[in-house]
Structure formats: structure tokens, C-alpha cells
Structure 1
């Protein structure tokens, strides 16, 4: 039985893909005269911002990233909780499961997005990208949560939707579960535990 379940945000808790990619497309177009189709930006999902812009030869000390985040807010009406997430979080808390978040969002982004959906009180531990020296796919975000929760690797499960999340779990030596409701199908080949709906997490713990 897992005692700790850690969630990624984008593509796992929140359906943010359209807003994130539209914000990136607008940033590249407005500030760098780079025109890219949304489908050609899917590689950026789950990737730290500096690495995304490095793919376009852009290194401007965070200027582009700050603009990207601002533009995502322009499309916030296209962001929502995935179906079943809040019921699943309620169930896990009733089972006394410790809940955490490991995200590539900054603390500011977390405060201005996740909190607006009213689910932040479910989480006992939140580690953002600007609170670690080595963000995902390094294992440090998960190891930091394990240390805070005073739990061992074999007591934790990390739920995410990208290859970066999969690598992060491997690097921290903890179990990983792929959130198929937000993941691209190709990631399914990279792991042996996956969930089609959030409710399946509850079914796992009920066994």
C-alpha cells in the first residue's frame, strides 16, 4: 500500500495543454517572429521553459519564459480540472494517503493557477521548479518530498503524463503511474503501470 502519492500538474491534474501551447505559439510569434503550428509544439509539454526556448536557439535569461507564462493566462478559460480528479483527491485523503505535487511550474505559477481550482488544500507537500537545484527529469523534486514526508522510496507513487515525469520517477527510484487521460500514447511504451482514469487510482488502493 502506498503512503504517498505525488502528482504532476499539467496533463495530470489540470488539462492545460491547449492553453500552454497557444501561449508558447503567441510568444514565439510576437517576440521572435517564429511561426509554429500547435502540433509541432507538443514536445514542449512537461519540459522546463529554458529547454523549450533552447530548441529554438533562444537564450534571453528568462524574458521569453516570462512572456510565455503571461500569454498562457490569456487562454485560462481553456484550462480545467480533468474529470474525476477532485473526487479522487477526496478519496485519497479519506484513506490517509499523503499527497504531494512535483511540478515544472514556478511557485508563482502554482499560486496563480492551481489555487484557483480550489484543490491546493488536498496537498501536504508541493515542490516547484524554483525550489530545487535540479528540476525534473532529475529525481530531486521527488526526493525532497520523500524527505519532507519522512517516507521511503517504496512507499511512494508518482503520477505524471510525460517522459520527463517517467525519468524523474526512475531517477528517484520510486514507482511511476502514467496518467493516460492526459498523456500521449507513446509514453505508454515507457512504463508498466498506467491508469485510464483518475478513479483507477482509487481502485488500486482498494485492492
Structure 2
């Protein structure tokens, strides 16, 4: 019997990958670096910002510090998203409402910084759906390490065997499965070609994922 559902944010609840791409493009202009959006999202969808920064530095032989480059991108995104909310993915708010009305506890576990995700939650009035919110600022080791999900479970007071995570990337699934959770993959157009074989189930949208959860409850 499931007792908690834990949602990823970027690429799962909101279609934010294009927004992250646009912010990276802005940051990389001084370095004369430009990526095709499809290729960029294929490379970095779900990856920690610091990891993406290090990859870009290594690929292009930059001398900038990876933490500094990642910090520039995070700061720019946090400012940009204030007035450019990424669109909600299909059924996001409907499924959050169903989860909130159910007997399940609900958490948000994101690889984004608090300053990046809070404007999105505020803009769509999503705060009240979650009992617990874990961002990368709240952990020592972000996804794909299991710490974010383990932290959320601890705050919920739940054992992993009673929880299910909904994710869209290999990075997120690795984190969820490492924490011992059941995991449902809902890939988007950027992550659909990733290796999602760690998922216990793969669904085409959030409503289908919720129906899978309801089935597990019956």
C-alpha cells in the first residue's frame, strides 16, 4: 500500500527544459558558444547544472571555473523565470489536485535550486499541494544521488517501500531507485530517448501515471 507520492518538477510538472536552454544560450554568448536546442537538451536534460557547466568547459576548452559558470546560469534563470514561467505539462495541476485529495502524502523533489523553482510554484499557486519540498540547496549531494529522495522521505516520516516517485529522466530515476522507491517514468519530448529502464513503469502522461498509482492502491 502506497502512502506517499514524490514528484520531480522540471520536465515532469513543467516543460522547463527549453527555458533552461535559453538561459544557457544567454550565458554562453560571451564565449561564442551556441548549441542546437535538441542536441543541448539531449545532452543535459535532467543533469545537474554544475555537471553541464563542467561538460561545456571541457568540450570547449574554457578557463572559467565550473562553479562560477553554473552560478551565472542559476542566477540568470532565477531572474528570468520571474517573468517567463515555463508551461505546465499536461494534467499537472489535475494530478496534483487528485494526489492532494487522496490519502497520500505529497512531496516535491527537484534538482533545481530553491531560487529557480519557487517562482514557478508561486506563479502557478502550487505550494499548497506539497507537504515537503526538497531542492538541490537542501542537500549535500543532488540527483542522481539518492539523498534528495531520502531527505523527503525522512521529512514525510515514510519508509521508501511506501513511496512512489514520478520522474522524467535517467538522472531522476537513478536518484529515486537509489532511495528504494517505486519509480514511474513520464518522459517528455526532450527525455524520451534517454535510458529509462530503471523505471518500474513508463507512462505517456501524468494522468496515466496517476491511474497506475490508483491501481496499486486498489
**TM-score over 0.5 for the alignment?**
yes
Greater Cα offset, 83-92 or 50-59: 50-59
Cα distance per residue 1:63-113 (max 9 Å; x no partner): 322332354454764711112111111111111211111111111112222
* 1:196 maps onto 2:201 in alignment: no
* 1:155 maps onto 2:154 in alignment: no
CA contact (8 A) 1:4 1:156 kept: yes
2:195 partner SS: helix
Structure 1: 5+ residue runs without aligned partners? none
Greater Cα offset, 12-21 or 72-81: 72-81
CA offset at residue 40 of structure 1?
2.4
Q: Residue 136 of structure 1 aligns with which residue?
A: 143
Cα distance per residue 1:155-207 (max 9 Å; x no partner): 00111111111110121111111013463233344434112121123322333
Distance 2:174 2:124 in 1: 28
Aligned length: 206
Cα distance, 1:147–1:96 mapped onto 2, change above 3 Å: same
Distance 1:194 1:70 in 2: 33
Cα distance per residue 1:19-78 (max 9 Å; x no partner): 111211221123x22222222212112111111110022553643223323544547647
Q: CA RMSD in A?
A: 2.0
Distance 2:75 2:197 in 1: 34
Q: Residue 25 of structure 1 aligns with which residue?
A: 25
* 1:167 maps onto 2:174 in alignment: yes
Q: Residue 8 of structure 1 aligns with which residue?
A: 8
Structure 2: 5+ residue runs without aligned partners? none
Distance 2:105 2:123 in 1: 21
Distance 1:61 1:180 in 2: 28
Greater Cα offset, 191-200 or 140-149: 191-200
Distance 2:200 2:178 in 1: 16
CA contact (8 A) 2:145 2:174 kept: yes
Q: How does 1:22-171 map to 2 (within 5 A)?
A: 22-30=22-30, 32-42=31-41, 43-57=43-57, 59-60=64-65, 62-72=67-77, 74=80, 77=84, 79-171=86-178
Greater Cα offset, 49-58 or 140-149: 49-58
Distance 1:181 1:37 in 2: 18
TM-score where L is the length of structure 1: 0.90
